Amino acid sequence: MPEKKKEEKVPVEPSPKKRGRKPKAEQEKWLKEQQELEENRPLFEKKIEEQLPLNFATIEQQIPQVPQWGIKKNSEGKNVFWFGFKGHLLVDCKSQYILSSLLSSGNVNDGKMAIPLLKALSELHPYVKPTYALADAGYDYIYRTPLSRHVFGNLSYVLSAGFRRFTLR
């Protein structure tokens, strides 16, 4: 009986990924895919600017309420983990009353909760006219962007003992 020759499979290497700019058609396809992905994300995974036109009731319904893992680096540069929820409070400095409180998943960034807290203050307590606000560095992103004028009007900020202090001009 004649011996069958085994077919040797020659490994086919995939062609190396092209470097440089993608062709225009491929780039347009990629941009369209990215835009569709962005549109389908939940509100708190989108850019903060997406919260601006919405009212507080709409934003409140979309706050994630499922316990999740959160992570951040402590002052020593080590990772700190937690599982569960985060509480976000807006407190009057003089009376120490809680003016607004929200509960979110443990992985929601503090900066993304600033707009809902401030919208809650303006919609639930329209008679309260703050002259300044203190916030820790977690909310700093909002005040360094063009959003700050839209959200806070004439509020400006200065660094004060680890906190951001916002005063009326």
Residue-range definition of the domain harbouring residue 154:
43-168
In a domain, 6, yes or no: no
Confidence of residue 78 (pLDDT cuts 50, 70, 90): very high
Q: Residue 118 in contact with residue 148, Cβ under 8 Å?
A: no
Total of domains in the chain: 1
In a domain, 82, yes or no: yes
Among 26, 104, 113, 22, which Cα is nearest to 70's?
A: 104
In a domain, 2, yes or no: no
In a domain, 22, yes or no: no
Quote the pLDDT of residue 156.
42
C-alpha–C-alpha distance, residues 92 and 81, integer Å: 30
pLDDT digits (tens, 9 = 90+) for 118-162: 888 888 888 887 766 677 766 666 555 554 444 554 444 433 334
Residue 60 has pLDDT above 80, yes or no: yes
pLDDT digits (tens, 9 = 90+) for 95-113: 888 888 999 998 888 888 8
Residue 80 has pLDDT above 80, yes or no: yes
Quote the pLDDT of residue 142.
59
Quote the pLDDT of residue 157.
41
In a domain, 86, yes or no: yes
Quote the pLDDT of residue 36.
92
In a domain, 125, yes or no: yes
Quote the pLDDT of residue 103.
93
Residue 72 has pLDDT above 90, yes or no: no
One DSSP character per residue, 17-80 reads PPPSPPPHHHHHHHHHHHHHHHHHS-GGGS-GGGGTTS-HHHHHHTS--S-EEEEEE-TTS-EE
In a domain, 121, yes or no: yes
Q: Taking the complete model, does pTM exceed 0.85, yes or no?
A: no
In a domain, 156, yes or no: yes
**82-89 — which CB contacts under 8 Å span 24+ positions?**
82/106, 86/110, 88/113, 88/116, 88/117, 89/117
